[in-house]
Structure 1
Amino acid sequence: MRVLELGTLIAGPFAGRLLGDMGADVIKVEDPKRPDPLRTWGQGERDGHRFFWTVHARNKRCITLDLRSPDGQDLFRRLVAESDVIVENFRPGTLEKWGLGYDVLSEVNPGIVLARVSGYGQTGPKATQAGYASVAEAESGLRHLNGYPGQAPPRLALSLGDTLGGMFAVQGVLAALLSRERTGRGQIVDVALTEACLAVQESVIPDYDAAGVVRGPSGTRLEGIAPSNLYRTSDDMWIVIAANQDTVFRRLCAAMDRPELADDAQFADHLARGVNQDELDEIIGAWAAKWPLAELLEHLSAAGVVAGPVNTVAEVVADEQFQARDMLVPHRDERTGDDVLGPGVVPRLTGTPGSVRRAGPPIAGYDNAAVYGDLLGVTDGERADLRERGVI
């Protein structure tokens, strides 16, 4: 499958990354005057290079193309004729303004699947408003559920709304491609960041509609789900113990040398533990505080209790489980020839596994010759003319 990735920053490029990981030929299209700002993002830096781009542009070929120019639009239509999927995350109406709406693109290629990721979707009263992940998380109610009661709702230190939007876009693309196998026709995949954030909120809406419950933040635990919380160990580390299932709770009680708790009316089943979770957390917290983290993890694992440490990235990189499952893989920096670790491919497929074949190309237009020359037959002289006129 060939994917044309338009747009910048996170949601669209993340969707393109996921498709590229699974083997698609992803061609990222950048404006020759305004390349993707993601090239300069990331908190870490080495030799003037930042690493957000390394991961989100991996497994892609990068070309430059001015979609505002008639010649650029003509080249794009030629690319569409040779492709299966387009992923874009412009404000709704942008492609139409350039004469590249789905009506035009589907005439060029009836099987084309157009995935459109935007703040509010392609329709509705807010459709034309700009949207970012942080605002989508807030407007969808997702941010309201985070943090502690009475405090400002914090964000996860990631662009979660963009990531969710990209994942739902890929889900839609795969469904649309499956439909195309039956019908021969492509379609539009319309993803709103706000709706992607809304979709993961479990029973929040029916809890409100049916019972008038306005769920709010609950700190380190979930209200009514116990025990499932953070506990501090004797060496001042944090451990998550998740034993809210009846059978697992009984194993935890045995591991604590408190088997009678499993039959106590206050804690005997899920509902009772939810009502009395403050008292239960206090009991478990006092017990966990007597153990060093490593010993406690070993003890709980042997007892069949679900538990884990709160790792920093340094501990994640050293984790034997992640290493064993190739979740820490080298990305070859074509600019320097060096390797830098990045996240592996999820999910793992046994028959057609994905892979990291290259890091993000180091400069905009890095693959112009290969794509325009090999795919479209544009000659060296024609490319030189297009480049001089700012089309590519």
Structure 2
Amino acid sequence: MSSSTPAALAGVRVIEMGQLIAGPFASKTLGEFGAEVIKIEPPGAGDPLRNWRLIKNGTSVWWQVQSRNKRSLALDLRQAEGQALARQLIAEADVLVENFRPGTLEGWDMSPEQLHALNPGLVILRISGYGQTGPYRDLPGFGVVGEAMGGLRHLTAEPGRVPVRVGVSIGDTLAALHGVIGVLTALYHRKVQGGRGQVVDVALHEAVFNVMESLIPEYSAFGAVREPAGSALPGIAPSNAYPCQDGWVLVAGNGDSIFKRLMQAIGRADLAQAPDLADNAGRVARVAEIDAAIGAWTQTRTVLTVTTELAAARVPAGKVYTAKDIAEDPHYRARDMILQQTTRDGYTVEVPGIVPKLSGTPGTIRTSAPHVGDDTDAVLSEMGLSSEQIGRLREKKIIQ
């Protein structure tokens, strides 16, 4: 799980004080590209994600992905001595990642102003439900709430039916990725503009809102409220899910020339040549008819037959993948998107690969996810504490 390739973020030290998804996903991404990530988690059970979803050997297999390339320092931040140790660690760091409710750091005497007094170059990533300012800042917020406020949940439904979640914690991961962009931007600014750090303030709902495309311009210009459309792409045609004999297939025939090739492939030359269907506006006006024609063709074929025939016609189409489909797909394997990772419990598990792909400094899995406090003694020793001092901290239950 190690690599000799150069790491883009080698020498960058990240202190992670978050838990569950958003903050830890951000530092996971930084760690994959070479940053040293020291995760501070509470003694005892540690990060609650250790116990989320499916458990193997007492630990979530999700944990094996979320916390690879990290070191675990089990430190009680509720105690003053624990807070003092955290400040000492942060004083020598490049990045602090936290996703607590606003005001938590301030309550521990770790406000950005106090931390920048200790470490002027520190980049502080703060991920929260509603951001560090504004009338909602103190409200509790999880990813699902951010998805709702950001406008996404309203659209993830069939018309007239209950809004559904997309199946993963997309609000948290979108916030994490925006946080990574902010951290990298701030580190670059620090390098070229005099060494000063800054705060990166990411709100869950704003990260979701940022990917909502034309939602607000359409409302502003036309008073149009975009509504749920199931699997279709409103205003762009044809782009939908269509039934096959053994499942569903997604077909995107919404380019002008692609549409013509699609209609020829399904035996509808009349639609391919129709003057009013030569552009998107005309196709949107007749979308129900077009969808019906495509569906009539797909439902007499298997998914594999449909995707094979449309690939030959150079029409974008694909099956709806399950986990099994992904794990068995040769393209995923060819691009190292399914990797084997040996856990610290000794078993091997397949995990997602690393995105994005960098040609010169690719991301790597250097170490597996730690047990709670695996690196406590090592990190504190590196900070200059003696074995006697570490022993006293352990006796007081400040560390594990």
* TM > 0.5: yes
1:159-198 equivalences under 5 Å are 159-182=169-192, 183-198=194-209
Post-superposition shift, 1:33? 4.5
User: Is the CA contact (8 Å cut-off) linking 1:224 and 1:277 kept in structure 2?
Assistant: no
Residue 370 (str. 1) matches residue 369 (str. 2) = no
Letter paired with 1:367: D
1:3 matched to which residue of 2? 14
Q: Secondary structure of the residue that 1:106 maps to in structure 2?
A: helix
Residue 298 (str. 1) matches residue 308 (str. 2) = yes
1:1-392 equivalences under 5 Å are 1-33=12-44, 35-42=46-53, 44-182=54-192, 183-233=194-244, 235-335=245-345, 337-361=346-370, 363-373=371-381, 375-392=382-399
Letter paired with 1:236: D
Task: Determine the C-alpha separation between the residues in 2 that align with 1:121 and 1:50.
Answer: 29
Post-superposition shift, 1:34? 5.3
User: Is the CA contact (8 Å cut-off) linking 1:329 and 1:356 kept in structure 2?
Assistant: no
User: Is the CA contact (8 Å cut-off) linking 2:26 and 2:176 kept in structure 1?
Assistant: yes
Q: TM-score, length-normalised on structure 1? A: 0.96
User: Is the CA contact (8 Å cut-off) linking 1:224 and 1:273 kept in structure 2?
Assistant: no
Task: Determine the C-alpha separation between the residues in 2 that align with 1:196 and 1:316.
Answer: 27
| Higher RCO (CA-CA < 8 Å; seq separation 6+) | 2
Q: Secondary structure of the residue that 2:87 maps to in structure 1?
A: helix
Gaps of 5+ in 2: 1-11
Task: Determine the C-alpha separation between the residues in 2 that align with 1:154 and 1:307.
Answer: 24
Q: Secondary structure of the residue that 1:175 maps to in structure 2?
A: helix
Q: Secondary structure of the residue that 1:323 maps to in structure 2?
A: helix
User: Is the CA contact (8 Å cut-off) linking 2:123 and 2:198 kept in structure 1?
Assistant: yes
Post-superposition shift, 1:260? 3.2
Task: Determine the C-alpha separation between the residues in 2 that align with 1:360 and 1:304.
Answer: 43
Between the aligned residues of both structures, percent identity stands at 47
User: Is the CA contact (8 Å cut-off) linking 2:152 and 2:208 kept in structure 1?
Assistant: yes
User: Is the CA contact (8 Å cut-off) linking 2:16 and 2:40 kept in structure 1?
Assistant: yes
Post-superposition shift, 1:265? 3.2
Letter paired with 1:93: G
Task: Determine the C-alpha separation between the residues in 2 that align with 1:318 and 1:118.
Answer: 37
Q: Deviations over 1:52-96 (max 9, x none)?
A: 211111111111112222221221122112210000001101101
Task: Determine the C-alpha separation between the residues in 2 that align with 1:19 and 1:148.
Answer: 37
Task: Determine the C-alpha separation between the residues in 2 that align with 1:293 and 1:168.
Answer: 36
Letter paired with 1:359: S
Letter paired with 1:134: V
Matched residue pairs, number? 387
Task: Determine the C-alpha separation between the residues in 1 that align with 2:267 and 2:43.
Answer: 67
Task: Determine the C-alpha separation between the residues in 2 that align with 1:344 and 1:151.
Answer: 36
User: Is the CA contact (8 Å cut-off) linking 1:261 and 1:268 kept in structure 2?
Assistant: no
Task: Determine the C-alpha separation between the residues in 2 that align with 1:89 and 1:109.
Answer: 20
Post-superposition shift, 1:262? 2.1
Task: Determine the C-alpha separation between the residues in 2 that align with 1:81 and 1:95.
Answer: 15
Q: Secondary structure of the residue that 1:18 maps to in structure 2?
A: helix
Task: Determine the C-alpha separation between the residues in 1 that align with 2:228 and 2:318.
Answer: 22
Task: Determine the C-alpha separation between the residues in 1 that align with 2:334 and 2:286.
Answer: 40
Post-superposition shift, 1:295? 1.8
Task: Determine the C-alpha separation between the residues in 2 that align with 1:92 and 1:64.
Answer: 22
Task: Determine the C-alpha separation between the residues in 2 that align with 1:33 and 1:302.
Answer: 57
Letter paired with 2:103: G
Letter paired with 2:140: A
User: Is the CA contact (8 Å cut-off) linking 2:33 and 2:363 kept in structure 1?
Assistant: yes
Q: Secondary structure of the residue that 2:275 maps to in structure 1?
A: coil
Task: Determine the C-alpha separation between the residues in 1 that align with 2:310 and 2:361.
Answer: 36
Post-superposition shift, 1:259? 2.9
Letter paired with 2:95: V
Task: Determine the C-alpha separation between the residues in 2 that align with 1:307 and 1:81.
Answer: 52
User: Is the CA contact (8 Å cut-off) linking 2:49 and 2:60 kept in structure 1?
Assistant: no
